[in-house]
Structure 1
């Protein structure tokens, strides 16, 4: 019961946080990044299907905070619960590792856990709204696209960060602490400046993101991507900086393209670097073991053990 309540509380908190950054496009309210999908999938990957009741309760609380309970609310809750469960089953089927230490893990999370599984939540949600006459048919594709991308970006950006935090350990003091502090300062200063600049220079965020992913893998890339996504979402909501003088639809499309590219770059580049580092460590370990084996064989040879030679002495 305590675990169910905790998962529900985390889901609800993430839902309210995501809904606080809503955008309006042609009269439809959209959420560029919906964190609860990432929270739900991370809980399922870490603790198993026993988290499903908590996810369902959390989804019901989020929906109840927006509209009166009814058939549409039930449909949305079912879709938001089934989508992360489907993502879990798909990821288990391909041997997904929560360490995200291989490129195949990053690709599986993006294409199976995010883009494929979240078709369920977006399809169920939009479908039930159409069936209950709460959504005009002219807005179906726009709302569906925004719903699908928002849920998918929640998985791409939030799930890796939660998986990382679950296994995080404080590293020993080293010279990289200075680089980490410098990177944090650059991100906190430069990302808002670039985002709120009257000149559209959002692309300048990507060299910083690449630096973070190359040097610190997921621990650097995903927080950087999340921070940039939040800053860009706030700027888009305020129609400021790079998102000024755009129509509602243009703002939504630009923001979702930016967030999607951020998440994919951080996740996949971090996975590639981690896989290369793990391969190098494995090779070094194998070479070290081979050297030890050779030394052991040499130490056991006739010349070093004092065994008698051919003349018997």
Structure 2
């Protein structure tokens, strides 16, 4: 029996490594479909692989590190040839998710994102702080190799950093949500979700492609989704709106028309970032308040049962009576 388990463990680890690498590579190819040119450097407004990497580490632990490294290597090989400089990109894109995972584990992060502190930790530790590593390593490497001028460092660095951070803010919560997703049994919830989806399908394209800047119309929809469906509703709404806005920005249509590449990048990333922050933090606050209310209601119900038993003169279940504790039974023979 021990021998069979020993054989299974390397097989499961290899399968897990290949699955993580495949997901990372697929997310990378998906992210490369939409690009912006900033100061002569090509950057992606949203880089989904960072979200895949952080989610893999949170779900599988450090066992997924090899799969992440392999995924980074496959993505790099798909867009350029293997060069010594690739090592810098490999190290930066692997170290950033690992740093995010270690910091989240240090602060007691919960993958269900049911507390405000979990949402804040994901935003400020995993997304904004850890992705400084990948952005600095990647853009610094471009400067050292004379791919971009030193004067272009900060604009390119900002675009790179925000793209990696957006991958964590949007993709990681969705993957963590899919891990614990349950099908709602109440038919009315399906009806409400379908109605909300129809409204989103009509409102989001209008906001993203209208020549008038109507991106602010997404926020009431985002708030409604968070109020009714918490993280599941808000993050899916944010993903849809972010995707539509990214497509419009890269096509330079709608509110992104007649803007320079830098202005497009700033406007798009400001919208995506504020929307992702709203979705995460608002849903975390609502979920935490609902859990607190359930705890208070349960405590009140337990207290009411105890008072009911005391009023009736009975002993509450599981609680010995005070009189019974004070009676000393005489030993046999007294």
Within a 5 Å distance, the mapping from 1:37-52 to structure 2 comes to 37-52=50-65
Aligned partners of 2:56 and 2:230: how far apart in 1?
22
User: Which of 49, 60, 74 does residue 61 from structure 1 map onto?
Assistant: 74
Deviation at 1:63, TM superposition (A): 0.9
Matched, 1:171 2:184: yes
1:108 maps to which residue? 121
1:282 maps to which residue? 295
1:71 partner SS = coil
Within a 5 Å distance, the mapping from 1:1-313 to structure 2 comes to 1-301=14-314
Alpha carbons 2:212, 2:254 under 8 Å: kept: yes
Deviation at 1:193, TM superposition (A): 1.1
Aligned partners of 1:75 and 1:301: how far apart in 2?
73
156-165 vs 133-142, which moves further: 133-142
Relative to the length of structure 1, the TM-score reads: 0.94
Aligned partners of 1:224 and 1:126: how far apart in 2?
31
2:85 partner SS = helix
Where structure 2 has 5 or more consecutive residues not aligned to the other structure, the ranges are 1-13, 316-334
- Between the two proteins, the alignment pairs up a number of residues equal to 302
Deviation at 1:214, TM superposition (A): 1.2
Alpha carbons 2:39, 2:156 under 8 Å: kept: no
Aligned partners of 1:175 and 1:165: how far apart in 2?
21
Aligned partners of 2:118 and 2:154: how far apart in 1?
30
Aligned partners of 1:115 and 1:301: how far apart in 2?
58
Where structure 1 has 5 or more consecutive residues not aligned to the other structure, the ranges are 303-313
Deviation at 1:299, TM superposition (A): 4.5
Alpha carbons 2:40, 2:148 under 8 Å: kept: no
Q: Deviations over 1:92-142 (max 9, x none)?
A: 111111110111110000000100000111111112222222222122111
Aligned partners of 1:113 and 1:163: how far apart in 2?
14
Alpha carbons 1:72, 1:129 under 8 Å: kept: no
2:42 partner SS = strand
Q: Deviations over 1:6-41 (max 9, x none)?
A: 000000000110111111123221111100000100
> CA-atom RMSD, angstroms?
1.2
Alpha-carbon distance change, 236 to 294 in structure 1, aligned in 2, over 3 angstroms: same
2:220 partner SS = helix
